[in-house]
Amino acid sequence: MRNRRKASDRRHFAVRHAIRSELANDVDASPNGRRTATKRDPAVPVVQLDHVTLSFDRPILEDVSFFAKAGETISIVGESGTGKSTALKLILRLLIPERGRVLIDGDDITHLSFEEALSVRQKMGMVFQGAALFDSMTVFENVAYPLREHTKLDDDEIENRVREKLQFVDLEPDRVMEQFPAELSGGMRKRVGIARGMANNPEIMLYDEPTSGLDPLTTATITRLIMKLQHELGVTSVVVSHDIRAVFRMSSRVAVLHDRRIAFFGTPEEMAASENAYLHDFLGGA
Amino acid sequence: MPAFLTRLNNAAKAKVLRVQEYFVLAGKSLRFIFARPFYGQDVIQQMDEIGVRSLGIVMITGLFTGMVLALQSSVQLKTFGATMYIGNLVSASMIRELGPVLAGLMVAGRVGSGIAAQLGSMRVTEQIDALNTLGTDPIKKLVTPRVLAALIMLPVLTVINDFIGIIGGNIIGSFVVGLPSTQYWRTVWDQIASDGFTFRYFPNDFVQGLSKPLVFGAIISITACYFGLNTTGGTEGVGQATTKTVVTASILILISDYFITQLLLSVLTYA
């Protein structure tokens, strides 16, 4: 019964994915290459965790629910080891929940095969804590990587796209394109990571501690870039962060993880006004 | 169930799971050789890394192994006045056994540890996760090119190793034992021809000598990729992965060598 349901879920996903791909074909030809042609019901969250429970050797997440609507930036905050990065891995379907569902554009991705999950991930861009740039490749090759893998753009188009993305993150293409990640500063690596994440014009951007280990000025630059992506390109973002000031600046909503559960999910204003003792302590300590 | 039995049960299950994962990785990496997308550029790069850059150590190993074989055998054969058979002994030993095994062990040490360290570093710096999130299957992109390159280059290295080893024997035969080169090479060919042929023209010794490096190439690359991809615990974990790779691949090469030899001796018809 369970297997039959999984198979029907996969067929359902495959049909919807094919229709979306058809729609998205018009899109890449649009002037800015954004995938905006996909008709989306604004009431349906773009990213949603629905009563998700996950454990490895010990419980990690219990009955966790939150969502992000189109164009919103939501932040996940909490103490270290509360499962914030795990939540991102669930959205990317690098992990599968024991109970509950993870929905992308209203589609349940929980039971997808590995290959189907790879195609869902193409809708997303991810910025890792340490940038995770491929150290055997130059900056150009890093940013061009998703374009070479998943598009039929020719070399000139790829170079133009790479230059455009590097300029978007305030890097001078001619200066950095031929450099290797080891030759860049921490802030530059993060910015190249963002450029690579957005190279394929994803609908969703995920950030894992985008400002950790950076000085206050670079932190402000990265925060501004995340906001720029939201405002100028309408990208839906999920940010895992410890930086409460940055979270308050850029988030439409904040999810606070505490003791494996969601302790709070609401706007930054609601969070600041909350009487919840844990939130009070958390913000006081931040 | 008593606590120690539960622990034993869990430990046994974990071991079986690792073996299962190893074979799943092996199966996938071999299957993906025939599946799109093909990473031809990566295969060529790995052939250079595994093959061309290993040439030096493999040639040195082959040369000195052939020389020492000739030297040792000349002492024994002299007792029976049979030093003219040095060529038979060196060629049979090199082509059937020492060439494939020594090339395998050298490549396991040089390339296996390199692959494990590279993939291990990629794992701990989240580059493998980055590949996944960019919609690329890490096995297709990282493992299959390495396995294919090893499958192609190990037999090539083995042939070179065999040839250099036999030349090493010739050097000792000529300069130490006083055996004319023509006689040495005639006995080398006599040895190869005397063991019979497969499909009429292909010497049985070559069947043995070339089927082993294929298996060794698969063992080295898959073992290195398995330990590399499963690295945990930061830079210390990378060190452990390289050590485990060299030890495991070397042991598997020696064990599989025995079984391949046993199998081939029962299948091939020797004269």
A92 within 8 A of A124, measured Cβ to Cβ: yes
Length of chain A: 286
Contact A92 B134 (CB under 8 A): no
CB half-sphere exposure, B9, CA atoms < 13 A: 6
Chain A positions in Cβ-Cβ contact with residue B132 (cut-off 8 Å): 92, 94, 118, 121
Q: B121 to chain A: which residues are within 8 Å by CB?
A: 135
Q: Do the chains contact at A145 and B134, CB–CB below 8 Å?
A: yes
Contacts within 8 Å (CB) and 24+ apart, B32-40: B32/B137, B32/B139, B32/B140, B32/B143, B32/B144, B33/B144, B33/B147, B33/B148, B35/B140, B37/A149, B37/B140, B39/B140, B39/B141, B39/B144, B39/B145
Q: Is A207 touching B (CB cutoff 8 A)?
A: no
Q: Is the pLDDT of residue B82 over 80?
A: yes
Q: Does A244 touch chain B (CB under 8 A)?
A: no
| Local confidence band at B251 (pLDDT 50, 70, 90 cut-offs) | very high
- Asked if the Cβ–Cβ distance from A134 to B130 is below 8 Å, we say yes
Question: Best of A88, A93, A121, A194 to disrupt the B interface by mutation (most B CBs within 10 Å)?
Answer: A121
- For residues B158-175, average pLDDT: 95
What is residue B194's predicted lDDT score, i.e. its pLDDT? 82
Query: CB–CB of A128 and B129 under 8 A?
Result: yes
Least confident residue range of A155-164, B119-128, B175-184, B262-271: B262-271
Could B126 and A129 be called an inter-chain contact, meaning their C-beta atoms sit closer than 8 Å? yes
For residues A77 and A256, what is the distance between their CA atoms, to the nearest angstrom?
A: 5
Tell me what the mean pLDDT of segment B249-267 comes to: 94
Q: What is the pLDDT along chain A (286 residues), one digit of tens a residue?
A: 444 445 555 545 444 444 344 334 333 433 344 444 455 667 789 999 999 999 987 889 999 999 999 999 999 999 888 889 999 999 999 899 999 999 999 999 998 888 788 888 888 999 998 899 999 999 999 999 999 988 889 999 999 999 999 999 999 999 999 999 999 998 899 999 999 999 989 999 999 999 888 888 888 888 998 998 888 888 999 999 988 888 999 999 999 999 889 999 999 999 988 888 888 888 875 5
CATH numbers and ranges of domains, chain A: 2-123+203-285 (3.40.50.300)
Inter-chain residue contact B132 with A135, CB threshold 8 Å: no
Which residues of chain A neighbour B130 with C-beta distances below 8 Å? 126, 128, 132-134
Cβ contact B135–A135 (<8 Å): no
**Taking a C-beta distance cutoff of 8 angstroms, is the pair A51, A64 a contact?**
yes
Q: Where are the beta strands (DSSP E) in A112-227?
A: 124-127, 204-208
pLDDT of residue A285: 58
Distance of CA B182 to the CA centre of its chain: 32
Q: Which residues contact B127 (CB under 8 A, 6 or more apart)?
A: A132, A133, A134, A135, B121
Q: Say whether pLDDT at B110 is over 90.
A: yes
Mutate to test the interface with B, among A135, A192, A194, A212 (most CBs of B within 10 A): A135
Chain B's closest residue to A193, CA to CA, is B130
pLDDT at A74: 95
Whether residue B201 has pLDDT greater than 90: no
